[in-house]
Structure 1
Amino acid sequence: MLNRYPTERQIQRFNLVVFYRTANGGNWFHNDNWLSYDVSECQWFSSAPSEEPICDEDDNFITLNLTSNNLSGTFTLTNTFIPSLVIFDVSNNDLDGRVPTAVSSPNLEVLAVSDNRFEGQLVGDGVFAAFKLRVIKIDGNQIVGSSASYVYRFLPHLEILNVTSNLFHGEFNGELRHCPNMTYIGFGHNDICGSIPTEMGVLTHLQELDVSGNPRMQGNIPEELSTLNYLTKLDVSGTRIAGGVPEPICERIEDNLMTLIANCSFVECCM
């Protein structure tokens, strides 16, 4: 079977075998068909829902989803790992090492490595060479980054950014205004300082903003947030954000259209 594969397909399969060995595949909860000589890699076990294809019509591997599958070990893959990848999800496992450089595929749209033990610089390892990214979920690791990073201006398709519970630092500025499709921003429980930038008011699709657990954040809730008609949740608890809440936001809260989580010792919460 393998000798009939084109070279690119053999390389793809080889890289998946390396991934299996690196992530201790023998200990996975489910590893059905992995490493099988007679079964296409497009039919190896995946945690992906049935409507999420593993390969495209040309048998290019596009979805690697092994979330909550007892993966472990040190991630050592390289930038050449499966350039056709669109979805890379290894969240809720026990992987460690540097941030995966293997997922800098130019086709990548979803990067999910939540709740592992990854560390190191995110941008420095080239992950953001994937300019088609729509979803970045790296929460629950020890990854270093900047809330003010210039890379956001190169991610115009970004919709979900969750870096909660990492080692992000720096001032929360307006760089995310370059991501007009954003629906969720999670910077909670890092070391971010400054205030909520007024530029958040241009993110007209934003539904949730979480900056909780950043005690060096201060300032007030900007009036510009009250123009965000889709905003349903704002979490500023565990910060020093203070002052009044814009009246339109209070009205949305009273109408059960929005939730505000705040320390009312600092914030003049809606009555």
Structure 2
Amino acid sequence: MGPSLTLVLLFFFHTVSSSSDIQPFLLSPDEQESAYLVLESFNSAIDWRSLFPDDLCLSAPHGVVCDFFPDENEGRAHITELSFGYISDYSSNPPCGPNPHFTPRISSLPFLRKLFFYKCFTDQNISLPGYFWNSSSLQELVFMENPSLVGSLDGNISNFDRLQRLVLSGTGISGNIPDSIGELQELEQLVISRSHFSGWIPSTLGKLQKLKILDLSYNRLEGNLPPEIGGIPELLKLDLGFNQIAGEIPNRLVELQRLEFLDLSYNRFGNFGIPLFLSEMPQLKEVYLSGNALGGQIPEIWEKLGGILGIGLSSLGLVGNIPASMGVYLRNVSYLGLDNNMLEGKVPKEFGLLKNVKEMNLENNRLSGEIPFSANFSAKVGGKLKLEGNLRLCVDSGMSRGHFGDFSACEKKKAIPNAALVFISEGFVRKPSFLLIFVFILFLF
């Protein structure tokens, strides 16, 4: 039974069972006033008091959520969630006005668990005020697409000791990620992405033993990746893409045995090759390492990774042949990116057996020989089968070239007639120089 239904039933039971002692407000007058002030601070153009004159826990705009606390003063309701910023008709939170601002009254909502903002701070820069960090009851703090929200993460973030979800995505917040973030022992989701954070990734993140999602992508983070990240046992998603992290990918990441999503792409990891320990992480569904300088050959590690759906190994400086084992074992793969490397040799014919593939990018390598894909395979993948930039690839003469762009037809080697073989054999036996003359004539032909 959801909180809202529980609240309605408890209120109904309370009113019918003790009509002589009806409370006109489940929400205290002080908390009601605080809620009005918060709504007015984020959109003063709406007359919230006239539109919602009754108890906000019984009649409130979408985005204001209450829970009932039956053990407190014979039962009392409190505001537990505030969400601002219209997303859709299915999530029509109160829209933010042209000049939203924070108010100390947020901290006067002592039972507030969730605070959510979507596209509220988009024009004039605004910083989180110092008193904001005193909202110790918060369990979820979410800012999405708020580019004018600036400032830095205060070290007092450790005051949010109940926080389970922290999302700062698409903000103007900058500076370092404070070491004190490792003190948020209840944290399950940490998303600090598409912002302006810099400096090193704090090793204290390894203390977040309940963390399931760690996303620090699209920032300016640098330095080495701390091995302590491998000590987060519940981690399901690790996304550090599009930063400036350098050095070696720590072998300790192999301890992330529940990890399903790994994105380290477009950083500065280099010269250590594709990590062999990936084969010891059987829960992986997506692996993206593109845009680093790992170099080396593609290792034979795919036998235990049959569950992978997406793999990106583009622009890594890879050399050598493409292992046929990738086509044998990666039978569930939907996306395969090997483009912009120095791979050579033939395209494995086993790639034509990948029935679930939606995009395969092999362009801009040094691949050669006949393209092994059927017309049906080409038609299924369509324009997302990318082979351009491999000048020595060719198409079987019986295959319509329209399926594979402008590749030329493969030249068929002419078979030497049996009589010629006998002639060559006898000539070689009688006079070895005769064979050389014959070969020279064939060469001119």
Contact 2:336 2:360 (C-alpha < 8 Å) held by counterparts? yes
Secondary structure of the 1:96 match is strand
Residue equivalent to 2:133: 36
TM-score for the superposition, normalised by structure 1: 0.76
Residue equivalent to 1:107: 234
User: What is the alpha-carbon distance in structure 1 between the residues aligned to residue 136 and residue 142 of structure 2?
Assistant: 11
Q: Which amino acid aligns with 1:120?
A: G
Gaps of 5+ in 2: 1-124, 146-163, 167-184, 396-403, 406-445
Query: How far is 1:44 from its partner?
Result: 2.9
Q: Which amino acid aligns with 2:165?
A: I
1:115-154 aligned within 5 A: 115-124=242-251, 126-144=252-270, 145-147=272-274, 149-154=275-280
Residues 135 and 255 of structure 1: is their aligned pair in 2 closer, same or farther, counting only changes over 3 Å? closer
Q: How many residues align?
A: 233
TM-score for the superposition, normalised by structure 2: 0.48
Secondary structure of the 1:36 match is helix
Residue equivalent to 1:61: 187
1:1-271 aligned within 5 A: 36-40=133-137, 42-45=139-142, 47=144, 54=165, 60-78=186-204, 80-104=206-230, 105-124=232-251, 126-144=252-270, 145-147=272-274, 149-201=275-327, 202-215=329-342, 217-248=343-374, 250-255=375-380, 257=382, 259-262=384-387, 263-268=389-394, 270=404
Query: How far is 1:31 from its partner?
Result: 6.1
When you count helix as a share of all residues, which structure comes out higher? Answer: 2
Deviations 1:53-92 (A, max 9, x none): 729xxx8311101111221222232463312111100100
Gaps of 5+ in 1: 1-27
User: What is the alpha-carbon distance in structure 2 between the residues aligned to residue 98 and residue 181 of structure 1?
Assistant: 29
Secondary structure of the 1:226 match is helix
User: What is the alpha-carbon distance in structure 1 between the residues aligned to residue 313 and residue 130 of structure 2?
Assistant: 39
Q: What percentage of residue pairs aligned between the two structures are identical?
A: 18
User: What is the alpha-carbon distance in structure 2 between the residues aligned to residue 169 and residue 163 of structure 1?
Assistant: 11
User: What is the alpha-carbon distance in structure 1 between the residues aligned to residue 130 and residue 283 of structure 2?
Assistant: 35
Q: Which amino acid aligns with 2:330?
A: L
Q: Which amino acid aligns with 2:192?
A: L
Query: How far is 1:208 from its partner?
Result: 1.4
Contact 1:108 1:132 (C-alpha < 8 Å) held by counterparts? yes
Contact 2:267 2:291 (C-alpha < 8 Å) held by counterparts? yes
**Which has more radius of gyration?**
2
Query: How far is 1:235 from its partner?
Result: 1.2
Contact 1:88 1:103 (C-alpha < 8 Å) held by counterparts? no
Q: Which amino acid aligns with 1:80?
A: G
Deviations 1:218-257 (A, max 9, x none): 1111111111111122211121111112233x42223455
Query: How far is 1:168 from its partner?
Result: 1.1
Secondary structure of the 2:302 match is helix
Q: Which amino acid aligns with 1:261?
A: K
Query: How far is 1:32 from its partner?
Result: 8.6
